[in-house]
Amino acid sequence: MRAILIDPKEQTITEVEYNGDYKHINTLIDARCFDCVRLGDKDENTIYVDDEGLMNGTIENVGMFRVDGHNPAYLAGKGLILATDKEGESVACTLDIKAFADRIAFGLPARTAKGMVFQELRNMGIARVLGRQWPIDN
């Protein structure tokens, strides 16, 4: 089934095929275990992320992202988006990938004199979606 994979290290958003086995989520997001972050839309689209992403010491290596307006916190590592049916089962993602790309902000942690901050990478002016580059309107 259709899913959207967010890779903050590569700053890409691509369509992938999910086989329906929950273990495949771990494979797609490179994690031992996952957690869910709901987007709160009518189709119950949900982002599956590495449950250990913030504590496994690899944030600088895997990158971070957030979904503007829906989840102000940064999520560490890759994210996989699927929708959820009325029975709570995963079904194909319903989001338009190009429109969704406008809602993603990639970032990395940065140490400053005041402590840790998250630096958004939007100032690069580019998001790569399906292998193509799209300008981001700032």
Q: What percent of the chain has pLDDT over 90?
A: 35
Tell me which residue has tokens 């259709």.
2
Closest by Cα among 119, 116, 138 to 127 = 138
Taking only the tens place, the pLDDT of each residue in 68-82 is 655 557 888 899 999
Which tokens go with 124? 């690069």
pTM of the entire structure? 0.80
pLDDT band at 60 (very low <50, low <70, confident <90, very high): low
pLDDT of residue 123: 44
**Torsional class of 49: left (φ above 0), alpha (ψ -120 to 50), beta (otherwise):** beta
Q: How far is the C-alpha of 10 from the C-alpha of 63, rounded, in Å? A: 8
- One DSSP character per residue, 26-86 reads HHHHT-SSEEEEE--STT--EEEEETTTTTSS-HHHH-EEEETTTEEEEEES-EEEEEE-T
| pLDDT, mean of residues 41-51 | 88
